[in-house]
Structure 1
Amino acid sequence: MVTTPTVWKARDQINQSGSGSESDVEIIDIGFGRYVAVWTEADGGPVASSIVEPGSDLVGQIFDAEGNTIGSEFLVNFGNRVDDEQDAALAPHLGGGFVAAYEDTDALGTSIAIWYLDVNGAFQDFVVIPDDGTDTLANPSIAMAANGNYLITYERSDNAGDTNIVGRTLSADFNTLSNEFTIFESIDVADDSTNPEVAALSNGNFVVVFEDEYRGDAADIDVKFKILSATGTEISTPSDVIAGTSRLENDPHVAALAGGGFVVVWRDDESDGTGDPGIQATVYDNDGVEMNNFIHVNTTTAGDQNDPEVAALADGGFVVVWNDPGSGVVRGQRFDAGGNKVGSEFTENFSVEDNPVVAALSDGRFIVGFEDVDNAPTDIDIHGTIFDPRTSPINGTANADVLTSRKDGATVNGLGGADTLLGQEESDTLNGGDGNDFLYGRANADFLDGGANDDFLDGGAGVDDMRGGAGNDTYIVDNASDFILENAGQGTDSVFSSADYTLGANIENLTLTGSAVNAGGNGIANVLTGHNGVNRLDGFNGNDILRGLGGNDFLFGGNNDDTLDGGTGADAMTGGAGDDIYYVDNAGDTVIEAAGQGTDTVASSVSHILAANVENLGLSGTANISGTGNSLSNILVGNSGNNALYGGGGADGLDGKGGADDMRGGTGDDVYFVDNAGDGVTEAAGQGTDSVASSVSFTLGANVENLVLTGSAAINGTGNGLANALVGNAGGNTLDDGGVGDDILSGGLGKDVLLGKGGKDVFVFADPVGAANADKIVKFKHKKDSIFLDKDIFAAVGTKVGKKEYFEGSKAQDKNDHIIRKGNKLYYDEDGKGGTKQVLFAKLDKKAVTDHKDFDVGDFVI
């Protein structure tokens, strides 16, 4: 078990700007795993020298939980820079960040300025307590209550030389600053009450400690304390820490303890019995009742032990630090909540140290800051050392914590909230608990357990054991032997690995980083991503997505339906069994498929020829590129450019999409999709029965048999010398059989013109009848051409049009008259006797001759 605090981070220079005169440092934890140091920089210092106005200024630097700087030094009093700003006291802000109360001195006097800065050191708000032109204000102290409100205490000195302790309260939103009230007023005009310091108690009250000089006798100074309510009213009268003595007690400091109560420390001229001044402390409860009095703090008694400071620790105890000028070092002693010493006196020996401060950090450690006066007075720097009094396990709270491990390893439990757990050089156990946690093991073999929610786990160097638990977790792997455990149903998890790695069970995604080469999936649907080097990605089973990114990669999909994208570089992609999709962007990309391994598709941004056993090709982008099929029945789709599509063998589907495309199906019964008047369709003789589906007016080229118009535009279709089937769309079309050949013409919806010309042509009516769909038949040839009626549309006709069903006249005469020719118009009468209105469905040339033998009935199929 740890007793004496150990060094967690060896002393380091806090002020980063180099030489100068820095003094009076204050440090405070500001939340979100950060702390801030604020010090006074003399006129002409490295930061102050950048300011036009003369005088000393307050400079700050923010640090992360591990003592690393965040950003640069900044001016705390940046909007209030005239003359001298100094002697800052710090308090946290309820929303994160900090509040600095400091002396602001100009030619008219000294005011107390109170500035609120956020966790990045950016100004947020301020108030000023002005002097009245006669009195002097000094030595501010500030504390924040649990509700976010503040008590500010300070000295007010009048022209008669009398100094009293006064205070004001300030609301958390900085909108309400109370009137000044007296905390302690000296009895005699020669008396001085000085050096106040305030702490916020766990019950909502405040305690103020201060020095009281008796009747101007500098050798008789008492340390007193007084308890005030949250509004500054008196709860208890001032009490002496040592009653009834005439001695020199000075430099008091106070800290409210985590478990309730408070501790007061001070320098006492007669404390150690050797005649040398020492450090004393007394522990009180929240009501000011002594729990352990007159504690002799310092073990080292030689010389003048002075400048004490105290900080409450998370374990309920406290730590006291002080200056040992005879040895030139800062010393410290840890205590439990009852005021009993824990472990031995500790120190950080280096150079000549002075004016120490101590601040507790939110994870239980504490930092000691001090002045390095080895080169005083020309060069005084601020240094700090982080100490660790904790034992394992280290526990967080229900809130979002930033917790560091011990340097020799520990178990760290985040518990509730979105926690950041930071391991150190030895082996650590990091348990995130609830919340979206960040776990970083750092060196050696660590155990990381994210717990519930979406966690980020990075074991760091060493062979680590990582378990994300429920939620969508992210893992960082740097060793091929790193172990990851995920159970089924625990979210979608991702691994980023700088080493060759194969996913364990129930992990979905893997991305290679750094110099890693190989990535392997598992039996579920994985996303495997390479980097700019040469990678091998193996999906194995599952519907996987493989992304090679840069480099000449090797991608193996394995079983099931995979998506393979090699990225830039000449990639070799093998899909395996299943319906696979390939993305091609390099002429050197190769696609490998064995027979019987599903229906596969290539999406290519460059000209591409389908490899054997690959069925479909889609061109992407806008470039004028080509796509070529193989011996299978392929689907070839172009892009928005002018493409050349070559089907090859098989019954192919060719769709050029945008642009004027050149499409050649090759052997087999091919289907073309046309959307541009500049599209070309080329077929050689004897290469199957081919069809065009066109959304623009189109004339069939040689050796193409069928044309279907699509959409609803009024466009036209023209056949060729073959026996063509021409089908209209929903608009008014003109279908021209091309002059020769035995053609089939079906207008579809709309008022169409069906032009038969030569050959034995068939005019099809397979859409609902009505004047809006009545087509005109041009050049109908009696006893050669035929009019085909769909049996479902013309259901009353039966299986054929006989003499009884066909009638020439104005309207039907009996129940069998279903097809009525009236002049050059053809009507359909459903009941056959004129009981219902006959419906127009076609018009003929006026000289056209028809009889019942010119009609056929059946199912229309091209």
Structure 2
Amino acid sequence: MAAVTKLGSEFQVNTTAAGAQDNPAIAALANGGFVIAWESPDASSDGIFAQRYDANGGLDGIEMQINTTTTSQQTMPTIVGLSDGRFAVTWQSTQGTAFWQVITKIFAADGNVTTDELRLDAVANNITNTSPRAAALANGYYAVAFSPIDPSQTGIGVTIVKNDGTIDQSQTFANTFTTSYQRAPAIATLEDGGFVVIWESYNQEAHSSGSYGVFGQRFDNTWSPVGDEFQVNLKESDDQTNADVIGLANGGFLVMWESVHVEDSPGASRGVVGRLYHQYGTSISAEININTTEYGAQDHVRATALPDGGFLVTWESFNQDGSGAGVFGQRFDANGAKLGGEFQVNTTSFSTQSDPEVAVLANGGFVITWESWGQDGDQIGVFAQRYKAQLFGTTDDDTISDDIGANWIDGRSGNDDIHGNGGADVIRAGGGNDRVYGGAKNDIITGGTGLDSLDGEGGNDVIKGQGGADEIDGGAGRDDLDGGKGDDVLKPGAGGDTVRGGGGADNFFFSTSWNKNIVLDYQDGTDKITLSGFNYADKDEALTHFHEIGGVNNNKVGFMDQGTEIIINGADLSDIRKSDIRLDDGLLIM
């Protein structure tokens, strides 16, 4: 299966098509849905609008205007889903003045306003309060980074907003180096409750001058700076700009940015690179080339962390989809290795599709949104594409626990421990000696080339061992078990299962009160039958409970005792001998 799979078709977000609807932003909501915001003409100039969606991707209410004050310009929205189920929208606004202000507003999950507009920047008449980006904190709080004036030119301000829509921590500066310009911040929440802020800074790099580099500062869960600000980019010639940052499931974070002349291919001008960091702020990778196609320019990078520990990166790429710019993406595992190839997001490629944003949803799927020129019938419109939930392991030994509903899970190589939990999952163990637990729903589980232990647990499961000597337990429910190649142990369970041993010398395991189970391919002289818990004195007593079905040479034998019925295809009664019977369960390790 591909590393990403589209769910349905791309769809138009904006209802109002007159004028330009652009600069989209997206956030996942705690109820499983998502909300997309953008800027669009209103009664004065530009306003901020939004559309909510439910967990199935359906419209949840109608298009709504976010800004209360409509005087002059409202632009550059950023949106964040809060831990208490609400969401906050932040934007920059002139509000009838010549100066930019940073404004925020909180909404309930149903779209009702819960707070008034709140100004976040601390300095009045500051023309450079621009480029806000927000990140959710604990207890419904959130942090907003933006670019105000510092002692030199522009710096990176951070304000903490409480869940009641008031300021908890007034504007502080993330940057220590204040010479010249620090601008275009990005911010991400970390697993320890803190956050990290990233920005571009002019003329600060250690071994270069006259260009922009990427810098950052970590903050702990009391929102105090941790250590010194740090340089992210290793390549220092030419500009490194337009950075983004996301927190990862392992507590670390990923920084991505646009790098000029990072690529060696003829015709390439800009590419997208990234760098992984440990939770303590130390780098754990060199610069990673995100995009594979290098012709033209790749920029406006955005990313989201995925539940399997990996991440999804999206960007705009010029001259790649055959008409202007298009939106592309690449999935990575938890070690930063690419999963599959880069993929095109937009289906409609006429003219330009640009400025992508992405959010992972509560079910593990994700949504990418972008602006598209000429597609909605009038100038620029906002479009989006949903993707299925899929979890991937790495090439190491992984523990994957699916706590987000129905998923497609691939352990890949390594000796993995995979838990499907509550969803109806499709689980592929991959290479290595894996242990898989399906959970309560109807799962499809496939082993791999190693010695796997596959347990369907609850639900009506389909389990295939494939290669290797596997142990397969159907658990509760009416299951379909297939050992595949190798010498397998198959334990149907109490639900009335259908069992295939496949190639190899297999052992079919049965216990009392297991209803009616069917063995489809018993191999006389090769396979074994284990009867556990029946308390037979010896194998001779066990043999008395087998009987012919349909007469001699019909190649079908039955067994019945203590609430358990077995139909065995592939043998006559004379083929079932003491050497074919086991009265212990020592083979099972589950």
Do the structures match in fold with TM over 0.5?
yes
Alignment partner of 1:154: what SS?
Answer: strand
**What corresponds to 1:394 in structure 2?**
399
The counterpart of 2:212, out of the listed 277, 280, 305, is: 277
Residue 331 of structure 1 and its aligned partner are, at CA, apart by 1.1
- Provide closer, same or farther for how the CA distance between residues 112 and 481 of structure 1 changes in structure 2, counting only shifts above 3 A: same
Q: What amino acid is the match of 1:373? A: F
Alignment partner of 1:504: what SS?
Answer: strand
Of 262-271 and 450-459, more deviation after overlay is shown by 450-459
**What corresponds to 1:16 in structure 2?**
none
5+ residue gaps, structure 2: 263-269, 336-395, 532-543, 575-590
Contact 1:356 1:370 in 2 (8 A): yes
- Provide closer, same or farther for how the CA distance between residues 476 and 242 of structure 1 changes in structure 2, counting only shifts above 3 A: same
Residue 86 of structure 1 and its aligned partner are, at CA, apart by 2.0
Q: Answer yes or no: is 1:298 the counterpart of 2:233.
A: yes
The counterpart of 2:183, out of the listed 250, 258, 263, is: 250
The counterpart of 2:509, out of the listed 502, 505, 508, is: 505
- Provide closer, same or farther for how the CA distance between residues 401 and 341 of structure 1 changes in structure 2, counting only shifts above 3 A: farther
The counterpart of 1:332, out of the listed 274, 279, 285, is: 274
Alignment identity in percent?
A: 20
Contact 1:440 1:458 in 2 (8 A): yes
Alignment partner of 2:431: what SS?
Answer: coil
Pairing of 1:253-268 with structure 2 (within 5 A):
253-268=186-201
Q: What amino acid is the match of 2:313? A: V
The counterpart of 1:380, out of the listed 325, 329, 332, is: 325
Q: Cα deviations across residues 135-172 of structure 1 (Å, max 9, x unaligned)?
A: 21111111122221112111112343211001111112
Residue 262 of structure 1 and its aligned partner are, at CA, apart by 0.4
TM-score, length-normalised on structure 2? Answer: 0.70
Alignment partner of 1:173: what SS?
Answer: coil
**What corresponds to 2:144 in structure 1?**
208
CA distance in 2, matches of 1:183, 1:541: 80
Residue 414 of structure 1 and its aligned partner are, at CA, apart by 2.0
CA distance in 1, matches of 2:320, 2:449: 40
**What corresponds to 1:483 in structure 2?**
488
Contact 2:122 2:171 in 1 (8 A): no
- Provide closer, same or farther for how the CA distance between residues 403 and 479 of structure 1 changes in structure 2, counting only shifts above 3 A: closer
**What corresponds to 2:461 in structure 1?**
456
Contact 1:139 1:154 in 2 (8 A): yes
CA distance in 2, matches of 1:116, 1:563: 54
**What corresponds to 2:416 in structure 1?**
411
Residue 378 of structure 1 and its aligned partner are, at CA, apart by 3.5
Residue 471 of structure 1 and its aligned partner are, at CA, apart by 2.1
- Provide closer, same or farther for how the CA distance between residues 294 and 130 of structure 1 changes in structure 2, counting only shifts above 3 A: closer
CA distance in 2, matches of 1:75, 1:313: 30
CA distance in 1, matches of 2:101, 2:218: 25
Q: What amino acid is the match of 1:291? A: V
Residue 404 of structure 1 and its aligned partner are, at CA, apart by 3.9
Report how many aligned residue pairs link the two structures: 476
Contact 1:405 1:422 in 2 (8 A): yes
- Provide closer, same or farther for how the CA distance between residues 470 and 575 of structure 1 changes in structure 2, counting only shifts above 3 A: closer
Q: Cα deviations across residues 513-548 of structure 1 (Å, max 9, x unaligned)?
A: xxx999999689xxxxxxxxxxxxxxx9668999xx
Alignment partner of 1:184: what SS?
Answer: coil
Q: Cα deviations across residues 775-824 of structure 1 (Å, max 9, x unaligned)?
A: xxxxxxxxxxxxxxxxxxxxxxxxxxxxxxxxxxxxxxxxxxxxxxxxxx
**What corresponds to 1:102 in structure 2?**
38
- Provide closer, same or farther for how the CA distance between residues 441 and 105 of structure 1 changes in structure 2, counting only shifts above 3 A: farther
Contact 1:163 1:186 in 2 (8 A): no
- Provide closer, same or farther for how the CA distance between residues 543 and 470 of structure 1 changes in structure 2, counting only shifts above 3 A: farther
Residue 373 of structure 1 and its aligned partner are, at CA, apart by 1.5
Contact 2:464 2:484 in 1 (8 A): no
TM-score, length-normalised on structure 1? Answer: 0.49
**What corresponds to 2:436 in structure 1?**
431
Alignment partner of 2:148: what SS?
Answer: strand
Contact 1:88 1:102 in 2 (8 A): yes
Say what the alpha-carbon RMSD is for the aligned residues. Answer: 4.0
Alignment partner of 1:558: what SS?
Answer: strand
**What corresponds to 1:708 in structure 2?**
none
**What corresponds to 2:47 in structure 1?**
111
CA distance in 1, matches of 2:408, 2:566: 42
Residue 306 of structure 1 and its aligned partner are, at CA, apart by 1.0
Contact 2:84 2:139 in 1 (8 A): no
Contact 1:140 1:155 in 2 (8 A): yes
CA distance in 2, matches of 1:545, 1:343: 65
- Provide closer, same or farther for how the CA distance between residues 338 and 478 of structure 1 changes in structure 2, counting only shifts above 3 A: same
Q: What amino acid is the match of 1:178? A: T
Q: What amino acid is the match of 2:284? A: V
Contact 1:485 1:504 in 2 (8 A): yes
CA distance in 2, matches of 1:223, 1:73: 36
Q: Cα deviations across residues 709-738 of structure 1 (Å, max 9, x unaligned)?
A: xxxxxxxxxxxxxxxxxxxxxxxxxxxxxx
Q: What amino acid is the match of 1:365? A: G
Alignment partner of 1:389: what SS?
Answer: coil
Q: What amino acid is the match of 1:335? A: Y
- Provide closer, same or farther for how the CA distance between residues 183 and 431 of structure 1 changes in structure 2, counting only shifts above 3 A: same
- Provide closer, same or farther for how the CA distance between residues 211 and 437 of structure 1 changes in structure 2, counting only shifts above 3 A: farther
The counterpart of 1:347, out of the listed 260, 268, 289, is: 289
Residue 394 of structure 1 and its aligned partner are, at CA, apart by 2.2
Q: Answer yes or no: is 1:494 the counterpart of 2:436.
A: no
- Provide closer, same or farther for how the CA distance between residues 108 and 389 of structure 1 changes in structure 2, counting only shifts above 3 A: same
Contact 1:455 1:474 in 2 (8 A): yes
Pairing of 1:53-92 with structure 2 (within 5 A):
66-77=3-14, 79-92=15-28
Contact 1:457 1:466 in 2 (8 A): no
CA distance in 2, matches of 1:85, 1:542: 74
CA distance in 2, matches of 1:339, 1:563: 61
Alignment partner of 2:120: what SS?
Answer: strand
Q: Answer yes or no: is 1:172 the counterpart of 2:175.
A: no
Q: What amino acid is the match of 1:304? A: D
Of 350-359 and 393-402, more deviation after overlay is shown by 393-402
CA distance in 1, matches of 2:558, 2:418: 42
Q: Answer yes or no: is 1:474 the counterpart of 2:492.
A: no
The counterpart of 2:120, out of the listed 167, 180, 183, is: 183
Contact 1:195 1:251 in 2 (8 A): yes
Contact 1:142 1:151 in 2 (8 A): yes
